[in-house]
Chains A and B, each alone.
Chain A
Amino acid sequence: MTEYKLMKGNEAMAEAAIQAGCDAYFGYPITPQSEVLEYLAREMPKHGRIVLQAESEVASINMVYGAAGAGFRAMTSSSSPGMSLMQEGISYIAGAELPCLLVNVNRAGPGLGTIQPGQGDYFQSVKGGGHGDYKMIVLAPASVQEMADFVYLGFDLAEKYRNPVLMLSDGAIGQMMEKVKFHPYTRPPFDKSWATTGKPASRGRNYITSLHILPENMEKHNRHLEEKFKAIRENEVRFEEINTEDAEYLFVAYGLSARICQKSMELAKEKGIKVGLLRPITLYPYPYQRLKELASQVKLMLSVELNSGQMVEDVKLAVEGKVPVEFYGRMGGMMPTPEEIVHHLETLIQYHHVN
């Protein structure tokens, strides 16, 4: 009975949250994702769910912490400056091992920046952001359909690993309208025996904390978290490959940049340049292994991003100097045209003598 609808990315994400059984959404208005709070303020009460406009992003993330700690499916969404405010809470959530879904509809920065799309929050999202040793699973949607699909996936992964999951979108994917289908969804079983729901006589008390005051306990907890992140790295790498079978060159791009690169590939093909695309879907864990393999096939990789060159560092880590890894990006909410990217690729092929 599922049929296509025409929706904005932000609204598709909000609708998916309802269909994924999200119990509570806490948010604060910020462009370009205020539609999420607006949509859910309208729709969540109809389903008997909780939606609350908090006094700040600091409060939102801590409300998520409280609700997630009580075993409920909780989420928040924001955009770059708001995500910065949430980093403390995210660190606590990761430390206390609470599942929740966070969405960053990335705009351009630093500072107040601009409300136009950007990918400048890559480092913040995948390398930490908050204090201490922790990782989030980071999903990067490249379409309105994925804005919806990754909500289900995000909640499931969050509960599977008891870890925060971040969907790193951007202002364009959030605002643009595309067709989207909401697939039937069955929620996997989830053990909530650890949650703070009130202590019955039958069990000991549950508490949610990230505090381990004795160094030997803290290190033990760090090692436990690291084991979990290792399992995530081994089991949850997701990526998409397009035209890589006989590719001589490779675009590496995620989200909106990957969409632009798809057009660039078509233009390059017309010029006889065999270029493929590797689109990381999980930015953490990152597809290092696949990029390493592709490094023995292609002659050059070009990381295309809406920032000053962030993910390119991970591409270089994967490739280990086997082939040249270059970067092309625009910033400030500006987007490269497909032609611009192809032109840059051609220049690099000449420069590196890899034609």
Chain B
Amino acid sequence: MSTEEQVLPGTAIEVTMPACHKDEDEYEMVYHKPHTMVDVGMHYCPGCAHSLVHKLIMEVVEELGIQETTIGVAPVGCSVFAYDYMDIDMTEAAHGRACAVATGIKKLMPDKYVFTYQGDGDLAAIGIAETLHAVNRGENILIVFMNNAVYGMTSGQMAPTTLPAMHTTTSPDGRDVAYYGAPIKVSELLSVLPGSFYVTRQAVNHANAVRKAKKALTNAFKYQQLHKGTCIVEIIGNCPSNWKMTPLEAAKFIDEEMVKTFPLGDIKVPKAEDLKANKRLFI
């Protein structure tokens, strides 16, 4: 469908600048929203990680100058409208099927940058088969895996990644590990497959974490040029609405609880010899 036919769910934000004594061009630009973002309001809840991660991806796309050669695949879940915010060509996949859709795109256009953006329900439950096999084939794509330990869009049901004893709408007494099993550590699982090239787990709950997450995304996009395998950037996402927390509490919950099950940091890094030949790319 063309863009014009769809009424965007967000509404444009009108910003009225306060009267000031300087002309606009007298200010030094210290930060701007990436031009690869569509200038509309987002539907995400306050304190949600999605908007931030969308922006990080689009910053990377802008900085690497790959807007014309990047194709994104959106999932079913809270980020189902990702294509409303990212000013790149995108495809909306059926629930869980993003990695299969991305395979179809990448196999036909191996020199384009292709990434999927998937939540934990999408990737780790209904789409685990497509994910595992895409990684096992070493599809040269980037999987951005947003893990907030709940089904966000359907309002907070238990996900495969829900923490032990964590309360959700479908585990009202807390996740019973004896009944439902332990949370799946998908990134660790995928890291043992020879097809995965770079696997890392990041968060965006404070400024330092955001910088690290962006660095990881930048590297992951660059690695696609090597045609060496799948990159997985898992991001522990804040979900204050479904965690029944304030945004600040949610940010703390990641540091205090989520990292116990999902420790942050690189899980699999590229071999030095794979990067050596392409030094200029990875400064």
A207 touches B109 (CB 8 A): no
B208 at the interface (CB under 8 A from A): no
**Chain A residue at minimum C-beta to C-beta distance from B80:** A211
B97 at the interface (CB under 8 A from A): yes
**Chain B residue at minimum C-beta to C-beta distance from A97:** B1
A72 and B108 in contact, given A198-B69, A211-B80 (Cβ under 8 angstroms): yes
**8 A Cβ contacts from A46-71 to B:** 50, 52, 54-56, 58-60, 62-70
Among A24, A97, A197, point to the contact of B89 (Cβ < 8 A).
A197
B197 at the interface (CB under 8 A from A): no
A242 to B70, CA, bound (A): 54
A217 to B5, CA, bound (A): 8
A200 to B71, CA, bound (A): 12
Q: Could you tell me the distance in whole angstroms from the C-beta of B73 to the nearest C-beta in chain A?
A: 7
Most chain B C-beta atoms within 10 Å of own C-beta, residue among A26, A206, A212: A206
B105 at the interface (CB under 8 A from A): yes
A201 at the interface (CB under 8 A from B): yes
A88 at the interface (CB under 8 A from B): yes
Residues of A within 8 A of B107 (CB): 24, 50, 52, 63, 67
Q: Could you tell me the distance in whole angstroms from the C-beta of B116 to the nearest C-beta in chain A?
A: 10
A205 at the interface (CB under 8 A from B): yes
B70 touches A213 (CB 8 A): no
B92 touches A198 (CB 8 A): no
A197 touches B92 (CB 8 A): no
B91 touches A207 (CB 8 A): yes
Residues of A within 8 A of B71 (CB): 70, 196-198
Q: Could you tell me the distance in whole angstroms from the C-beta of B84 to the nearest C-beta in chain A?
A: 9
A66 touches B101 (CB 8 A): yes
Residues of B within 8 A of A70 (CB): 71, 104-105, 108-109
B133 touches A59 (CB 8 A): yes
B16 at the interface (CB under 8 A from A): no
B92 touches A207 (CB 8 A): yes
A207 and B1 in contact, given A62-B104, A67-B104, A67-B108 (Cβ under 8 angstroms): yes
Most chain A C-beta atoms within 10 Å of own C-beta, residue among B70, B104, B130, B133: B104
**Chain A residue at minimum C-beta to C-beta distance from B112:** A198
A58 and B97 in contact, given A66-B105, A72-B108 (Cβ under 8 angstroms): yes
B101 touches A207 (CB 8 A): no
A58 touches B67 (CB 8 A): no
What string of 1s and 0s marks CB contacts (under 8 Å) between A190-204 and chain B?
000010111111001
**Chain B residue at minimum C-beta to C-beta distance from A24:** B108
A63 touches B103 (CB 8 A): yes
B93 touches A62 (CB 8 A): yes
B92 touches A209 (CB 8 A): yes
Among B7, B87, B102, B103, point to the contact of A205 (Cβ < 8 A).
B87
B154 at the interface (CB under 8 A from A): no
**Chain A residue at minimum C-beta to C-beta distance from B90:** A207
**8 A Cβ contacts from A270-326 to B:** none
B129 touches A66 (CB 8 A): no
**Chain A residue at minimum C-beta to C-beta distance from B130:** A59
What string of 1s and 0s marks CB contacts (under 8 Å) between B60-75 and chain A?
0000000111110110
Most chain A C-beta atoms within 10 Å of own C-beta, residue among B2, B9, B94: B94
A66 touches B92 (CB 8 A): no
Listed A/B pairs (16) with beta-carbon separation below 8 Å:
A50-B108, A56-B129, A58-B100, A62-B97, A62-B100, A63-B103, A63-B104, A63-B107, A65-B93, A66-B91, A69-B105, A70-B104, A97-B1, A200-B68, A213-B81, A221-B5
Which residues in A have some Cβ–Cβ distance to B below 8 Å? 23-24, 26, 50, 52, 54-56, 58-60, 62-70, 72, 74, 88-89, 92, 96-97, 194, 196-201, 204-214, 217, 220-221
9 further A-B contacts with Cβ under 8 Å, apart from A54-B100, A58-B129, are A59-B129, A66-B73, A66-B105, A67-B107, A197-B112, A199-B88, A208-B90, A212-B6, A214-B7
Which residues in B have some Cβ–Cβ distance to A below 8 Å? 1-7, 9, 67-71, 73-74, 80-81, 83, 86-94, 97, 100-105, 107-109, 112, 129-130, 133
